[in-house]
Amino acid sequence: MSACFRNIVRVLAVVLTAAALAACAQSSVVNNKTALRSANRQTSLVAANAKRHLTRHTRTAGTQVTSYGLASFYSEGSQTASGEKFNPNELTAAHPSLPFGTLLRVTNVANGRSVTVRINDRGPFVAGRTVDVSHSAAERIGIVERGVAKVKLDVIQ
């Protein structure tokens, strides 16, 4: 082999190695941008979902959060999202984002009656509704006949 041919092979090897390294670097940049775009999209969806479920909320003294929305009730089901067996006679509720075990005071704006419920399920899954309360809780605040009511929600604990 001539020296000129060896030099050409060496240069070709260096060029191919550089091209391969550049391709690897480019694919990780593309993957990082895709992951970042996906994370931003998920954050936007969570924010939009929270905005849809809470019509208005204000922070009152301390850490208590008050919000307003529509409540409905449910009386059938076998198991809750927290893993508990559903019992329509307990004072429980379903909320899309509050942690399980949160105590929530639900006040019917029309008649002023209120009840304290414990969040143990996810829902409601009907657009425009903020909380689903158990049948027992619905009776206490007087929404069984109408099915839905505008309510004030106060996170107690």
The whole-angstrom separation of Cα 111 and Cα 127 is 24
pLDDT tens digit sequence for 63-108: 556 889 999 998 888 899 999 999 999 999 999 999 999 999 999 9
**C-alpha to C-alpha distance for 134 and 13, rounded to whole angstroms:** 72
pLDDT at 144 over 50: yes
CATH of the domain at 90: 2.40.40.10
Q: Which amino acid is at 17?
A: T
Tokens of 126: 């009907």
**Same domain as 87, residue 26:** no
pLDDT tens digits along 123-138: 998 999 999 999 999 9
Q: Average per-residue pLDDT in the chain?
A: 78
Q: Whole-model pTM above 0.75?
A: no
Give the separation between CA 117 and CA 133, rounded to whole angstroms. Answer: 8
Q: What is the pLDDT of residues 107-117, one digit of tens each?
A: 999 999 999 99
Higher confidence at residue 155 or residue 55? 155
What is residue 77's predicted lDDT score, i.e. its pLDDT? 81
**Chain mean position to CA 26:** 34
Of the candidates 67, 73, 44, which has an alpha carbon nearest to the alpha carbon of residue 54? 67
Shared domain check, 90 and 141: yes
